[in-house]
Amino acid sequence: MIKLRGVDRFYENGAARTYVLRRIDADIREGEFVTIMGPSGAGKSTLLGILGMLDHGWTGEFKLLDYAVEKLRPKQRAELNRKYIGFVFQSYHLIDNLTVYENIEIPLSYRNVPSSQRAGIVCDALDRFHIVGKRDLFPRQLSGGQQQVVAIARAVVANPKLILADEPTGNLHSAQAREIMELFKNLNAGGTTIVQVTHSETNAAYSDRVIYLQDGWIVKADPRTQSG
């Protein structure tokens, strides 16, 4: 589903180049659940931003499904993102003046789903994530864990093939984190490909495999155990 070859991401500082990612080769198959790990500053979030087409300043080859992303214009990339990708962020990114229902409806409104169909789709999502009773509440009336469940419901409401999650449990305590990981596990069992960035070994254990990054390079094993 994803194929990266020789992907570099760097910033120009006058004559010098600072590399954030260096010669990244990676393959992620459809239906996989993959974790990206590494110390802070290793380039994890940058890599996720490239996969999600939020970042255009890279070089190399990136194939998503049958599309050669490096050859696409920004507008076409945005369309790919809309069609195939759902995002989950550490800080939820819910809108505080919209209800749970309205927050989940957002991706449908910018995907031009007719409003007659939206209600059914949103209600399905509320049902699936057991938050029917919360539909008219606002984010501030929910716990952090519940807010993240809503954010995940929003990420999957338009039925993406790929979920990208950046530290999805970073603001949660361990019981809530477990619940979120179980949700991911279920979505993955249903066929959704998931790529998550995390610092947590416990969260990583839910995935099929781990890609380790260090100083912008992919390394074979956990850099922490290697240096020890």
In the bound state with another protein, the residue whose beta carbon lies nearer, of 102 and 215, is 102
Closest CB 219 distance from another protein, rounded Å: 25
β-pair partners for 68: 63
Decide whether 17 or 56 has the Cβ nearer to another protein.
Answer: 56
Minimum distance of another protein from residue 52's CB (angstroms)? 6
Minimum Å distance from CB 19 to another protein?
18
Q: Which of 208, 182, 221 is nearest to 37 (CA)?
A: 221
CA 33 to chain centre: 11
The smaller minimum CB distance to another protein, of residues 74 and 228, is found at 74
DSSP class of residue 65 equals T
Query: What distance in Å separates the CA atoms of residue 80 and residue 61, rounded to the nearest whole number?
Result: 16
Rounded to whole angstroms, the Cα distance separating 145 from 166 reads: 15
Of 109 and 226, which has the nearer Cβ to another protein?
109
What minimum distance in Å lies between the beta carbon of 97 and another protein? Answer: 4
Q: Which is nearer to another protein, 32 or 102 (CB)?
A: 102
Q: What Rg do the C-alpha atoms of the chain give, in angstroms? A: 18
- Where do contacts with another protein occur on this chain (CB under 8 A)? 49, 52, 54-55, 74, 78, 81, 85, 87, 89, 91, 93-97, 99, 102, 106, 109-110, 136, 138, 140
To another protein, the closest distance from the beta carbon of 197 in angstroms equals 13
Q: Do residues 9 and 43 lie in contact, with contact meaning Cβ atoms separated by under 8 Å? A: yes
Q: What are phi and psi of 27, to 5 degrees?
A: -125, 130
By the 8 A CB rule, do 208 and 218 touch?
Answer: no
Closer to another protein by Cβ: residue 24 or 88: 88
- Shortest spacing between CB 205 and another protein, in angstroms: 26
CA distance 54 to 186: 26
H helices of the chain, in order, are 44-51, 74-84, 100-109, 115-128, 144-156, 174-189, 201-204, 223-227
